[in-house]
Amino acid sequence: MIAYKFLGEGKVAPFSGVTWPDQGEWLEVETVDPCRVGVHACRIAQLPYWLRPELWEVELDGEVVEGELMVVAPRGRLVRRVEAWNRDTEREFGEACAAEARKRVERSPELELFAVDVEQTAASATAFAAFATARLAELQDGPPGYDAERLRQARWLAGALAL
């Protein structure tokens, strides 16, 4: 199964601190328990939840467990780095979130501070900017608004990264 994995610089997993092996070599675990043990990755629709400096296309092998925001398997390997995800694209994504937040505030001026937060963090804390934009959508449209905004973000990333 092909999926995606955001990693820190140097192919370091953000939560476990594990450094992934060289491209093409398998990372393996004994058991799978989502959020605890396993080779974690995500589908395109889940990308906005996991932003980090490096984005990799990964191949998962074995029984894949589907989670709400992730997929987990006993084996995974890096297939290719998604070079289109870089500091410039991350900045553009943050700006797109800021533009969406500003657009939403036109409909709900009382939520102005959300747009200000997104604008101030769009370039330096993109994951927060994306989350705050989704929260703004949730405050306007309820939980479906949050989900719809995260899907909009995923579509933006998929288009910009040619995934």
Instruction: Give the pLDDT score at 3.
Output: 98
pTM: 0.94
Which residues are within 8 A (CB) of 139 and not within 5 positions of it... i.e. 6 or more apart?
Answer: 108, 111, 114, 145
Given this model, what pLDDT does residue 66 score?
A: 94
- Based on the structure, what is the number of domains in the chain? 2
42 shares its domain with 71: yes
Length of the chain: 163
Q: Say if residue 25 is in the same domain as residue 68.
A: yes
Residue after which a domain boundary falls, among 32, 57, 81: 81
CB within 8 Å of 53: residues ≥ 6 apart: 6, 7, 8, 9
Do 74 and 112 belong together in one domain?
no
Whether 157 and 125 share a structural domain: yes
Which residues of the chain carry a pLDDT beneath 70?
Answer: none
What CA–CA distance (Å, rounded) separates 161 from 48?
Answer: 13
Final residue in a domain of this structure, among 57, 81, 105: 81
Range of the domain at 151: 87-161
How much is the pLDDT for 105?
95
Query: pLDDT (tens digit, 9 = 90+) per residue, 103-117?
Result: 999 999 999 998 999
Q: What's CA 27's distance to the chain center, in Å? A: 21
Domain boundary among the residues 47, 64, 81 is at 81
